[in-house]
């Protein structure tokens, strides 16, 4: 499928529109019978589409209305594929119809100078010798495939490139899950060691990331499994075999993501419980101190009244007697708290 020894016959690939010959086209490639890619200009797309040998990959910016117009009016795709590429709905899906594999796949959004964890959408339609992909935002997996072409990898068919796209997304999810596992393990170690601090309670962002991944991968698993199990599918054998492999890969990473999600939930509950217990101990200590100082507060309040007839008012040792009364009251409270088990 992939041959790292092959090299491209064109200049280095750059992520920009091909040229003004086909506005909205991010890039276009024509692959010969051996899977070697040649970069196409926008003006050469029409000629490449009528050639019988090899196949063509067109990648569009669907936010450009001119690209949408070309897809609608010129692209040699079934009407159902055009409708899927152009409709505003971007819910994940996978459809096999009229010898065409089309759908909406998940990917991670890419900024100009760095990757992100934000989920975006890749729309695609594979029809015989033509693969059309489109996006509204820059995507990581598509950019990785572009880099693979620049490194000299070859793709003998559209389904081979499409599988590489899917596998790249799966690898990115795998990398992200390993990062989540590392962060969760650090929190888990502190929880087990009873070294919980307020930062340990913030498992929420990790759970949110795991939940987002679980939703995307779970939906993709369902769509690929449904297509594989559908006896009425209309796909060539090679394309169907590709969907089977991708379904297995998604099932594997799906289980990993679900495990992380459950693990994050358990760690958050345990960390919250230990933190609550720690807080309860602090409140208990504060309550005991308040109870112990209550007699002293009562005594000082009584002797602080500006009224006649206070005990020890005329005695030179009145302060000490008052202090003894306060200490005795605190001692009595301490014995009561110890007897009922509040103080150990």
On whether residue 293 sits in a domain, the answer given is: yes
**Same domain assignment for residues 11 and 148:** yes
Which pLDDT tens digits describe the chain residue by residue (344 residues)? Answer: 334 333 333 333 344 444 456 888 999 999 988 889 899 888 888 888 888 788 999 999 999 999 999 999 999 999 999 999 999 888 999 998 878 899 999 999 887 666 677 889 999 999 988 999 999 988 999 999 988 888 889 999 999 999 999 999 999 998 888 988 888 888 887 777 766 665 556 777 888 888 888 899 999 999 999 888 887 777 788 888 999 999 999 999 988 888 888 888 888 787 777 777 777 877 878 887 787 778 877 777 767 776 666 777 767 777 787 788 778 888 887 787 777 777 77
**Same domain assignment for residues 145 and 283:** no
On whether residue 315 sits in a domain, the answer given is: yes
Give the integer Cα–Cα distance in Å for 163 and 153: 14
**Same domain assignment for residues 135 and 1:** yes
Instruction: Look up the CATH number of the domain holding residue 294.
Output: 1.20.58
On whether residue 121 sits in a domain, the answer given is: yes
Instruction: Look up the CATH number of the domain holding residue 79.
Output: 3.30.460.20
Helix runs in the chain, H state only: 45-49, 65-73, 79-86, 140-151, 158-192, 204-228, 237-303, 318-339
Q: Please state the three-class secondary structure of 298-344 as a single string.
A: HHHHHHCCCCCCCCCCCCCCHHHHHHHHHHHHHHHHHHHHHHCCCCC
Q: Which of 153, 169, 188 is the last residue of a domain?
A: 153
Q: Which of 153, 187, 206 is the last residue of a domain?
A: 153
Supply the pLDDT for residue 198.
Answer: 57
Name every residue whose Cβ is closer than 8 Å to that of residue 38 and which is 6 or more positions away in sequence.
8, 9, 10, 29, 30, 31, 32
**Same domain assignment for residues 2 and 146:** yes
Cα pseudo-dihedral 104, 105, 107, 112, rounded to 10:
-40
What is the phi/psi pair of residue 79, to 5°?
-60, -35
**Same domain assignment for residues 6 and 148:** yes
Supply the pLDDT for residue 2.
Answer: 39
Q: Please, what is the end-to-end C-alpha distance for the chain in angstroms?
A: 72
Q: Can you give the residue range of the structural domain that contains 98?
A: 1-153
For the chain, the domain total comes to: 2
On whether residue 49 sits in a domain, the answer given is: yes
On whether residue 6 sits in a domain, the answer given is: yes
On whether residue 176 sits in a domain, the answer given is: no
Q: Which of 153, 179, 207 is the last residue of a domain?
A: 153
On whether residue 36 sits in a domain, the answer given is: yes
On whether residue 238 sits in a domain, the answer given is: no
Give the integer Cα–Cα distance in Å for 199 and 203: 8
């Amino acid at each position: 499928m992939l041959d790292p020894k092959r090299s491209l016959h064109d200049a280095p690939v750059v992520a920009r529109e091909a040229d003004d010959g086909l506005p909205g086209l991010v890039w276009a490639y024509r692959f010969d019978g051996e899977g070697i890619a040649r970069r196409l200009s926008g003006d050469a797309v029409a000629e490449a589409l009528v050639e019988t040998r090899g196949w063509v990959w067109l990648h569009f910016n669907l936010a450009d209305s001119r690209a949408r117009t070309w897809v609608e009016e010129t692209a040699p795709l079934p009407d159902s594929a055009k409708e899927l590429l152009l409709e505003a709905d971007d819910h994940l899906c996978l459809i096999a119809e009229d010898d065409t594999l089309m759908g909406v796949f998940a990917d991670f959004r890419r900024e100009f100078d760095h990757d992100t964890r934000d989920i975006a959408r890749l729309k695609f339609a594979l029809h015989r010798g033509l693969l059309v992909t489109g996006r509204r935002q820059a995507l990581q997996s598509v950019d990785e495939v572009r880099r693979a072409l620049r490194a000299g990898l070859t793709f003998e068919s559209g389904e081979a490139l499409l599988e590489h796209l899917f596998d790249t997304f799966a690898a990115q999810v795998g990398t992200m899950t390993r990062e989540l596992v590392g962060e969760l393990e650090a929190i888990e170690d502190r929880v087990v060691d009873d070294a919980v601090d307020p930062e340990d309670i913030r498992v929420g962002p990790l759970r949110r990331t795991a939940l987002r991944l679980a939703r995307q991968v779970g939906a993709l698993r369902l769509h690929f499994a449904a297509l594989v199990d559908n006896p009425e599918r209309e796909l060539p054998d090679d394309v169907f075999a590709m969907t089977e492999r991708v379904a297995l890969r998604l099932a594997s990473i799906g289980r990993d993501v679900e495990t992380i999600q459950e693990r994050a939930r358990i760690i958050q509950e345990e960390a919250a419980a230990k933190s609550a217990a720690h807080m309860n101990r602090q409140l208990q200590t504060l309550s005991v101190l308040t109870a112990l100082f209550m007699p002293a507060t009562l005594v000082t309040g009584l002797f602080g009244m500006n009224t006649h007839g206070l005990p020890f008012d005329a005695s030179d040792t009145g302060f000490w007697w008052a202090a003894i009364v306060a200490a005795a009251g605190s001692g009595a409270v301490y014995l009561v708290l110890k007897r009922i088990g509040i103080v150990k």
